[in-house]
Structure 1
Amino acid sequence: MKKNILYLSIAVIIGLIGGYLIFGNSSDSSNQKITEVHDHSEDSTNEMWTCSMHPQIMQQEPGDCPICGMELIPAEASSEGLLANQIQMTENAMALANIETTIVGNLMEGNDDGVISLSGKIATNEENNAIQASYFDGRLEKLNVSFEGQVVKRGQLLATIYSPNLVAAQQELITATSLKQSQPALYKAVRNKLKLWKLSASQIDNIESTGEVRENFPLYATVSGTVAMVMAAEGDYLKQGQPILKVSNLNSVWAEFDAYENQISQFKKGQKIKVATSAYPKKEFDAVISFIDPVLNSSTRTVTVRSTLKNNENLFKPGMFVSGKIKGTAQSAEESLNIPASAVLWTGERSLVYVKPNPNRPVFEMREVTVGLRNGDNFTVVSGLENGEEIVTNGTFTVDAAAQLQGKKSMMNKSGEKTMTGHEGHLGMQGDSENKSDAISTMKMKLPMAFQTAFQAALKPYFKMGDAFVASDASQVSALAKTVLAKMKAIEVGGLGKMEKSHLSKSIAMLDAISSSSDLEKQRAQLVVLNENTVALAMNIKSPTETLYVQKCPMANGNKGAIWLSTEKEIKNPYYGDDMLTCGSVIDSLK
């Protein structure tokens, strides 16, 4: 009996253990599966990571951006409640991209209402120019005034000329002097002949009284001024009337300004204008508009607006850069809205801004606007915005790139179909994870040969502008940017696709901004965008006239890196100049 009870107890224990092993494991397995499913669900919401500067980068794990090396941030999980033309960004992405917004209507506080800023340079007053010419045939024996900039005074000895005709005329006068009483008409005719050759009465009287013939005859200045051009050299054989010197009287000079086509209606003769120059930063000079060129320059789309400045103290030098401020005749600032030029994206046909409709949400929407006059660093808005609206004024290109990647309407994508951005398509810096060697990848473009020829012509002053950036000369940068701008605007766009036109229009917009600014830091920030678009076009030139090197500085553009184009392999950094002249490397070339 005891044995039976023992066997029964053992069987019960074995059964309990077996049941636990079977059902317990199943339950644990079930719970584990549920937990795994739950954990996977949680991971799936945070599995994508992106770069704030290059939103085309999408990775399942955190890390660094393969393009710029910045730390990746979580991608936006949802875009619910957005309109078709709206995009949403994270607060972190906005901070890293340095996106800034401004309320429309509060942009011009502290500025003079309706004041238009113009840039120009000092030129000689052509009304005061004079030509010192030879009044008889002869050989230039000696030239006493031989270089430009030399000051001459009326009556000063300029040159000595040997003239056979003048020798004969002197002999005629000596002979006619003896016949003065018997043939007064002949005597008077000979004297008048010498007067017409610009000999003075005292010179003629001296010949008559001494009876001596001078072979080398002196030539005296008939006006006072500064030598603008030497037009002859010693030993030259001169014809009657041939110029020897061009002399400018600099007691008054012209200040000539370039006014854009859409500004012409703002100016009229007699308007007051204040002129300033970097040579005398604390002085302003009052003048009035004396001339408005009736012919528009077809290449630059500008007209010349001129004022005359007194220069008795010799403060102004021809060629000196000046700026002018003038109150326009159009509507006052109270009747118009003004926005920073940095807020506007140009496509060639449209002007776009990004509006922040809700101040409490990082949501932006593209808005097409019509702009009018440019007043310094601001544009007047004709339509498309209302007073009090908030717009993006810094980082506009970054917001537009995000819109393109999300398939929204953008400056390159009017219909809203998803397109590749500049960084994704043609300027992405790629490299393997081990050595991260730099190379530049370009999207194929179709550039007509006429475009390639004109574009390469524009690159010549572009390289000079790069040298001015290296020298940190803001005024020279501005002047050369105007030259490049004129050549870029003159390029025919026939046969170009949408992408090619976009690169050209962005380049023109940046050149316009650089030429209108005297702030070197702003110019260098605009150079970053200019180079991205210029390099993209240059890399599609089939037969460049010279080897082109694409160079990159990883520290420029706030450590995000920036590229530029050069004809020299040696690094000369335009973003830092002498501070870090050799910072950078060659990442690609076109031979």
Structure 2
Amino acid sequence: MKKYIIYIAILAIGLVLGYVFFGGPAEGSLSTKDVSDMSDSDREQSQMWTCSMHPQIMQPEPGDCPICGMDLIPAETGADGLAMNEIKMTENAMALANIQTTIVGNASAADGNAMTLSGKIMPNEEANAVQASYFEGRIEKLNVNFTGEEVRKGQLLATIYAPSLVAAQQELLTAASMKESQPALYQAVRNKLKLWKLSESQINQIESSGKVRENFPIYATVSGTVSQKMAEEGDYVKQGQPILKVSNLSTVWAMFDAYENQISQLKEGQKITVTTNAYPNKEFEATVSFIDPILNTKSRTVSVRATLNNKEDILKPGMFVTAKVETSKENATQSPITVPATAVLWTGERSLVYVKTNPNEPIFEMREVTLGTKNGDVYTIVDGLKNGEEVVTNGTFTVDAAAQLQDKKSMMNTQGGKTTTGHEGHTGMGSTISNEHSAKASHNTRLEVSSKFKSQLKGVFDKYIELKDALVKDNAEAAKNSAEKLLKNISEVDMKLLKEKEAHNHWMRLEKELKEAATPISETDGIKKQREHFVPLSAHFINAVRTFGIDQKVFVEFCPMANNDVGAYWLSEDEEIRNPYFGKEMLNCGSVMEEIF
């Protein structure tokens, strides 16, 4: 019995020792493993994967980007403690998007008191001349072959067969034979020929030769450039009928358009500095010589003219120029806060900028500001910014797009909060924002305007779509022609239809910026340059459609790879992605970001 008790005791002690040495740690190890597994599982469930080139792509597991096929990378989790109007970006995203910031409040006094006007070179009408035929007849020979040809004073321009001069020469020869007996008649016949611009030597030659000439020359009375041929060889011209129009381009006019709010800062005799893209490092000094007393009621502008010396013949009529006008410094005691136009986003009546709130971290805050006057490419900020604050001046649209994708407040989502549904509603290879988000985005403040104005804006929109489609098809020539039509339609919009001051002022600014963006497209055959200018054109057009409406549903679409990976928007009549920034190279790259009704 003792023997069994000893065995049982040894077994119990062994079990206790086994539990102490093996059971506890084993159990502890199991518990630790469970916790670790749960942590990893939670992390895997919360970890999202995105594309470095298309941040709108969010998937719960790794794989390939459905747009470009690149490997997806882990997406950063949202930073805690950020307000709904704040967004945090990575340094890598900042570099890829070329986001640049500027500290405001340090604008120079010169920039703060300079106004910029846009215009073009025109011939100096005071130096224009018309070469007319001094007698009736048929042009036998025209020595000027094309417009733009240089002519010099005294140069033979044309030879004309003149029946009336044939008869006058016969009279001269008859009167010459009787000049001793009838000197008055003889002198009257000679004077008659002089009225037809025949010189003394020509008349004496006819008289001495005794022969009648059938063809007579016409000589240039001025030097200059032929700006218009008004007759062709073989034409029958009447006495005094113009044959050529000659412009002396040693001086030219620079004609500028000044808006109503700029007229008070302009006066005749004011010094201006003129520059042109053709000679970016050259400045031309001039003086305002004329301000049109009549306002153009359609564009709400007056013409401002300056005369430029063009002895070197480098300024060509039709060339676009920009003038910097020094304005009054009465209000220069308080240096205004100014920002580049690229820093400002417009959404209806609101103007927004993104401010970098932490100098050491890429955290940006959306801020609503009140704009003052615009001088060139710079806006004066009346309210909303403080001296020394750091503002995004390049890549503003990209920051706003990132805010939309992170469900933060943005120009198209005034409330913030989650409104998207991931990849719902694929269009081509891109993704579409949900109907809920589209509905919210379309609730931005819209200005009430007449249906007639909307109809005219719709006509402009149709030409914009025509231009967009040309870029989609990689057709630079068609894009150039469409841009010309677009400019024509913009100019034909009747601003008098806008009764409210706010709508009137908003369109006045938009009209100028639309023209500034569309004009370079109409002047170049290079599709790369056309697409660069299509970026601001689209941005301003989106603003116009949001603000005024065109009684039609349109889609705002976005490509993050356009504009050197900064990203760019465009408008479309349908959901299907057709990328105007890449054409057939990446036709379906992009996403529908908003629907405007």
Q: What does 1:384-403 correspond to in 2, within 5 Å?
A: 384-403=384-403
Deviations 1:157-202 (A, max 9, x none): 2211112222223333444556667777765654454344333344
Match in the other structure for 1:164: 163
Q: Aligned letter for 1:152?
A: V
Match in the other structure for 1:151: 150
Match in the other structure for 1:198: 197
Q: Distance in 1 between matches of 2:267 and 2:484?
A: 24
Deviations 1:524-557 (A, max 9, x none): 766556579989x9xxx9xxxxxxxx9x9x9865
Q: Does 1:122 align with 2:121?
A: yes
Alpha-carbon distance change, 87 to 167 in structure 1, aligned in 2, over 3 angstroms: same
% identity of equivalent residues? 56
Alpha-carbon distance change, 315 to 17 in structure 1, aligned in 2, over 3 angstroms: closer
Deviations 1:242-294 (A, max 9, x none): 22111112222223345455444332211112234566665433211112344
Q: Does 1:77 align with 2:78?
A: yes
Match in the other structure for 1:547: none
Contact in 2 for aligned 1:269/1:291 (Cα 8 Å): yes
Q: What does 1:76-95 correspond to in 2, within 5 Å?
A: 76-80=77-81, 82=83, 84-90=84-90, 93-95=93-95
Contact in 1 for aligned 2:469/2:580 (Cα 8 Å): no
Contact in 1 for aligned 2:520/2:533 (Cα 8 Å): no
Q: Distance in 2 between matches of 1:246 and 1:279?
A: 27
Match in the other structure for 1:378: 378
Alpha-carbon distance change, 12 to 459 in structure 1, aligned in 2, over 3 angstroms: closer
Alpha-carbon distance change, 509 to 208 in structure 1, aligned in 2, over 3 angstroms: closer
Q: Does 1:366 align with 2:363?
A: no
Deviations 1:412-442 (A, max 9, x none): 3445576679x999988449xxxxxxxxxxx
Q: What does 1:205-216 correspond to in 2, within 5 Å?
A: 205-208=204-207, 210-216=209-215
Q: Distance in 1 between matches of 2:206 and 2:127?
A: 34
Deviations 1:299-335 (A, max 9, x none): 7665543211223344434344544333123643853
Match in the other structure for 1:569: none
Q: Does 1:305 align with 2:304?
A: yes
Alpha-carbon distance change, 354 to 559 in structure 1, aligned in 2, over 3 angstroms: closer
Q: Distance in 2 between matches of 1:426 and 1:247?
A: 62
Alpha-carbon distance change, 381 to 188 in structure 1, aligned in 2, over 3 angstroms: farther
Q: Distance in 1 between matches of 2:297 and 2:8?
A: 112
Match in the other structure for 1:341: 341
Alpha-carbon distance change, 186 to 480 in structure 1, aligned in 2, over 3 angstroms: farther
Contact in 1 for aligned 2:98/2:566 (Cα 8 Å): no
Deviations 1:104-144 (A, max 9, x none): 113559x6552334454432211111111123321111112
Give the SS at the match of 1:284: strand
Match in the other structure for 1:412: 412
Give the SS at the match of 1:166: helix
Contact in 1 for aligned 2:100/2:393 (Cα 8 Å): yes
Which sections of structure 2, spanning at least 5 residues, go unmatched?
A: 432-437, 443-453, 498-505, 545-549, 551-556, 572-578, 590-597
Match in the other structure for 1:229: 228
Contact in 2 for aligned 1:177/1:208 (Cα 8 Å): yes
Higher relative contact order (CA 8 A, sep 6+): 2
Q: Distance in 1 between matches of 2:150 and 2:384?
A: 58
Match in the other structure for 1:247: 246
Q: Distance in 1 between matches of 2:88 and 2:457?
A: 38
Deviations 1:434-481 (A, max 9, x none): xxxxxxxxx99x9x997665445457778999999989xxxxx99998
Contact in 1 for aligned 2:398/2:567 (Cα 8 Å): no
Contact in 1 for aligned 2:90/2:362 (Cα 8 Å): yes
Q: CA deviation at 1:48?
A: 3.1
Q: Distance in 2 between matches of 1:106 and 1:100?
A: 17
Q: Distance in 1 between matches of 2:332 and 2:471?
A: 36
Deviations 1:367-412 (A, max 9, x none): 2333344444422223332222222222211222233345544323
Q: Aligned letter for 1:170?
A: Q
Contact in 1 for aligned 2:250/2:309 (Cα 8 Å): yes
Q: Aligned letter for 1:386?
A: K
Alpha-carbon distance change, 344 to 169 in structure 1, aligned in 2, over 3 angstroms: same
Deviations 1:353-376 (A, max 9, x none): 122344455443322333344444
Give the SS at the match of 1:170: helix
Alpha-carbon distance change, 277 to 397 in structure 1, aligned in 2, over 3 angstroms: closer
TM-score (norm 1): 0.69
Q: Distance in 2 between matches of 1:184 and 1:404?
A: 99
TM-score (norm 2): 0.68
Q: How large is the RMSD of aligned CA atoms in angstroms?
A: 5.6
Match in the other structure for 1:584: 585
Aligned length: 534
Give the SS at the match of 2:371: strand
Contact in 1 for aligned 2:298/2:493 (Cα 8 Å): no
Alpha-carbon distance change, 386 to 426 in structure 1, aligned in 2, over 3 angstroms: farther
Q: Aligned letter for 1:284?
A: E
Q: Distance in 1 between matches of 2:566 and 2:427?
A: 13
Match in the other structure for 2:48: 48
